Amino acid sequence: MKKYFITGLLIWIPLAITFMVLAWIIGTLDQILLWLPNGAQPRAWLGFNIPGIGVLMSLLIVFLTGLVAANVLGQKLVQVWEGLLARIPVVKSIYYGVKQVSDTLFSSSGQAFRKALLVQYPREGAWTIAFLTGKPGGDAARHLQGDYVSVYVPTTPNPTSGFFLMMPKEDVIELDMSVDEALKYIISMGVVAPPIRHAERPALLNE
């Protein structure tokens, strides 16, 4: 009896959590409909709400924004907008900090989260999965003697929070697994292990 109950839980819990997350995302994006005048909202001319319209509208807005920003006129508008934000002290710090991170993460030429690593953390002898984010910069790099790399150590089961570390390159091992496989490994708390592609010992991180 207990075996069948646990088996049922293992099937329904992931499904329930998945639907809860999707419902939260759809419900949040549907709030964009509140920007429209009351007479222009779907509820006014259909008589009822349709879940997911906000998602489609959000995708359309993102697509149109990218379409406009891709040409010369759109780039000028973006420059004017960013120049306006740069005049607001607190907003400037938040906006440009987030922009630098997003440009690094989503740019096709960026190197963030492109390699899965094996590092010793939080103490020597304890190993965990991390991601390469680049090399130390600014004044911090001046105080580090030797070759260092910047890594992000995510927490489990929520990889969106974690720790930023600057570690000696010789202490970092590059893994033969994709970033997606590493994320699944982290989120599953080590239950869903990536397939072993070869039996060789991982090499130290190369350029």
| Same domain assignment for residues 51 and 16 | yes
Based on the fold, state whether residues 90 and 123 are members of the same structural domain: no
In 3-state terms, what secondary structure has residue 177?
coil
User: What pLDDT does 205 receive?
Assistant: 60
List the domain range (segments joined by +) for residue 52. 1-70
- 138 and 157 fall within a common domain: yes
82 and 18 part of one domain = no
Query: Can you give the pTM of this predicted structure?
Result: 0.54
The sign of the dihedral angle between the CA atoms of 10, 12, 17, 19 is positive
Q: Is residue 197 part of a domain?
A: no
* % of the chain residues with pLDDT over 70: 86
Domain shared by 31 and 83, yes or no: no
Within 10 angstroms of residue 87's Cβ, the number of other Cβ atoms is 8
Residues 128-184: tens digit of each pLDDT: 999 998 889 889 988 998 999 999 999 887 777 889 999 999 999 999 988 888 988
Same domain, 95 and 132: no
